[in-house]
A and B are shown apart, each in its own frame.
Chain A
Amino acid sequence: MLRRYSVHLILATLGGLVVYLAYNEYLGLYYLSVLMFMGVNIILSSSLNLVNGYMGEFSCGHAGFMCVGAYVASVLGVWLFARDRVFGAPVLDPEYALYAFPVIILAGGIAAALAGLLVAFPSYKTRGDYLAIITIAANYIIISAIENMSAIGGSRGFMGMKGVINAMEDTIYLPWMPIWVFIFTIFSVWVIRRYVSSTFGKGVNAISQDEVAAEIMSVNTNKIKTITFMLSSGLAGIGGGLFAYILGYVNPGSFNILKSTEIMVMVYLGGMGSLSGSILAAILFTILLELLRPLQIIKWIVIPLVLIILMQFRPEGIMGNRELGQTFPRLKKFYRFK
């Protein structure tokens, strides 16, 4: 009984605690936003792990899909529910913002999934290093395309998302952003877990081990690649949408290769093909980034150095291709997560 519901219990307690603390403003805005970025980073790193870890491809343009999700979600939200210079008065009654918000974020995710096709189609024929280039090129294409859309701000960026959050808080006063980030984080981890442990998802691992052999064993590799790339980029889009609403401002420059590298660092820090590793690494990495903030630019020397040292001594990352339950078998008595 406890084993069955312990994960739900822990998550509910954690979520309730964060919401309670945020509601009574015990937590400062700074700590709250660090917590929210942690959630976004978990979404990003676990979704990239789907491609880089489970499928064994080398994608280094994850921030591009995040960018699509961020822009679609914020433009849609601002157009529908907020007063803005560009779009004028809100189209719908701001009271509905509360209910429409998850739909908006999901719409961003779907748009990003469609952008993922940009990588999925070439991946039928290409593999390895060549596919890496395609993902980099896709990242540049997306950023460059958005920079050229002057209607939504171009390279100056886009803002006004605070209006949507205010509309939500006016309807029912609750800290909505932490709640949604929490829900979507759990949603995406759950989706990935369900996906890779399903019968269909076993094919993802088969591609990683030997694509030709998998194809001979009647695994439809093209279909699996398409779906996996779309799922991964779609979740990245969800992460991007949340990221945009937390910051209240997006510009294409913040989704460049450096951001993609940041997500990649989290995946390799945690260990490829390990979901719990990705989550752990995202949490650790966010804390590390915040701790090193006073160092300013030195931060970007320390973090790569940490990763280089990690690569030298434990190249498989913290968890190294294993889940938490496999590393500590005794924990299995206390929880079950599927």
Chain B
Amino acid sequence: MLELIIQNAINALQWGSFYALIALGYTLVYGVLTLINFAHGDVFMVGAYIAFFVATFFLVSLGVPGWVVLALCVPLTMILTSLVGVTLERIAYRPLRNKGAHRLYVVITALMCGLILQHANLAIFGASRKAFPPLIQEHVYNVGGVSFTNLKVAVIVTAFLVFLILHWIVTRTRVGMAMRAISYDKFAVPLMGIPLDQIIVITFVLGSGFAGLAGLLFAMSYPVLEPYMGALIGWKAFIAAVVGGIGDIRGAFLGGFLLGAIEILVVAFFPSTLRDLIAFTVLLVILTFKPTGFFGVAKTTKI
């Protein structure tokens, strides 16, 4: 019984890690811009594809050994994916923001950017699924009836590391201080000599970079890539971020793991087709009774 619990806990942690990593990107951008970046799930998908091309390029064309490829893949994927995110910000969101357009129009634009990323991918690379090459030897460890692989542990450790790094950046550095300032008052911040656009670009770099990392880890854990893989995970991660309280890094992290745990528990005890149904129902109930999520702060409305 105890083994079963620990086994499911490890699975939940690993599955939740992906949600948490993506939710962090949502929550960062939302915290700074109060913009739901609906293209984020597709940025994650693009990250997985970039990882695929980088990995196959080094592994097949150059014949570099697997662990070197992995060491190259992590920074390259993160950099290239953050470029995608920054490009989206530059060409789609910033012009609208400079015009002072309503927030909703930016959200629609984000949604459309996501659709374009998906279908451009589908048009360019075709509908056939890509198989991600194995980079490192997967070891299965078995401790007292609980089995886990080195990859699973790596995913969980990475998620926690990313959380710690982001938490440190937001609470301890000058950039993080500027981010919090922007989310507090967007109009007073430029008057204090804080470069608004630069901070926003840094936010997008951080969010998209970690989405790319999540894409790489996801591709390594479940080595089948397809253009729509980002959509569902992205929506779910977004819901996780909201349940945690969007705009708060701890909330995104907690929400991601909560969603992962719910899904793994449902699959463990019910038929797996019920997974989405129960997971979303639980989230709906949580949001009905705690509308701002776990860490969200209710805003007072003035007339």
Contacts and interface: CB of A to CB of B under 8 A. Distances in A.
Contact of B92 (A212, A258, A308): A308
Given A133-B287, A305-B116, A311 B108 contact: yes
A265 B273 CA distance: 30
Given A133-B239, A136-B235, A307-B112, A212 B303 contact: yes
B112 A308 contact: yes
> Which of B118, B274, B280 counts the most A-chain CB atoms under 10 A from its CB?
B280
A247 B265 CA distance: 38
Interface in B262-283: 273-274, 276-277, 280-281, 283
B113 A304 contact: yes
B123 A130 contact: no
Interface stretch (A6-14, A138-146, A159-167, A182-190): A138-146
Contacts of B277: 141, 144-145, 148
B95 A312 contact: yes
Given A121-B288, A129-B36, A141 B281 contact: yes
Given A132-B36, A308-B113, A315-B102, A122 B108 contact: no
B302 to A, nearest CB: 8
B191 interface: no
Interface in A296-332: 297-298, 300-301, 303-305, 307-308, 311-312, 315
B115 A304 contact: yes
Given A122-B291, A138-B284, A145-B277, A300 B119 contact: yes
A129 B246 contact: yes
A261 B115 contact: yes
Given A125-B288, A130-B292, A312-B95, A140 B303 contact: no
A130 B291 contact: yes
Contact of A268 (B108, B276, B284): B108
Interface in A74-113: none
A172 interface: no
Contact of B104 (A58, A134, A145, A210): A58
A311 B111 contact: no
A67 B80 CA distance: 39
B96 A134 contact: no
Contacts of A254: none
A306 B166 CA distance: 36
B97 to A, nearest CB: 11
Contacts of A275: none
Contacts of A304: 112-113, 115-116, 119
Nearest to B293: A130
Q: Is the interface of B mostly helix, strand, loop or mixed?
A: helix
Contacts of A268: 105, 108
Contacts of A300: 115-116, 118-119, 122
A285 to B, nearest CB: 14
Contacts of A169: none
Contacts of A291: none
Contacts of A264: 108, 111
Nearest to B300: A212
A213 interface: yes
Contacts, number: 119
A144 to B, nearest CB: 4
A144 B30 CA distance: 28
Q: Is the interface of A mostly helix, strand, loop or mixed?
A: helix
Contacts of B36: 129, 132
Contacts of A212: 301-303
B101 interface: yes
B21 interface: no
B242 interface: yes
B98 to A, nearest CB: 11
Nearest to B228: A258
Contacts of A305: 112, 116
A215 B178 CA distance: 37
A140 B123 contact: no
A248 B161 CA distance: 52
B123 A297 contact: yes
Contacts of B293: 130
B273 A147 contact: yes
A331 B257 CA distance: 58
A106 B111 CA distance: 32
B46 interface: no
A304 B238 CA distance: 21
B108 A307 contact: yes
B119 A125 contact: no
A122 B287 contact: yes
18 contacts: A129-B34, A130-B287, A130-B292, A134-B284, A136-B239, A137-B280, A140-B235, A141-B276, A141-B280, A141-B281, A141-B284, A144-B273, A144-B276, A148-B274, A257-B231, A300-B119, A308-B113, A315-B105
Interface of B: 30, 34, 36, 92, 95-96, 99, 101-102, 104-105, 107-109, 111-113, 115-116, 118-120, 122-123, 231, 235, 238-239, 242, 246, 273-274, 276-277, 280-281, 283-284, 287-288, 291-293, 301-303
Interface of A: 58, 118, 121-122, 125-126, 129-130, 132-134, 136-138, 140-141, 144-145, 147-148, 210-213, 216, 257-258, 261, 264-265, 268, 297-298, 300-301, 303-305, 307-308, 311-312, 315
By Cβ-Cβ distance, the 3 closest A-B pairs, closest first, are A304-B112, A144-B277, A300-B119
Given A137-B280, A315-B105, 8 more contacts: A129-B36, A130-B291, A134-B284, A136-B239, A213-B303, A261-B111, A300-B116, A311-B112
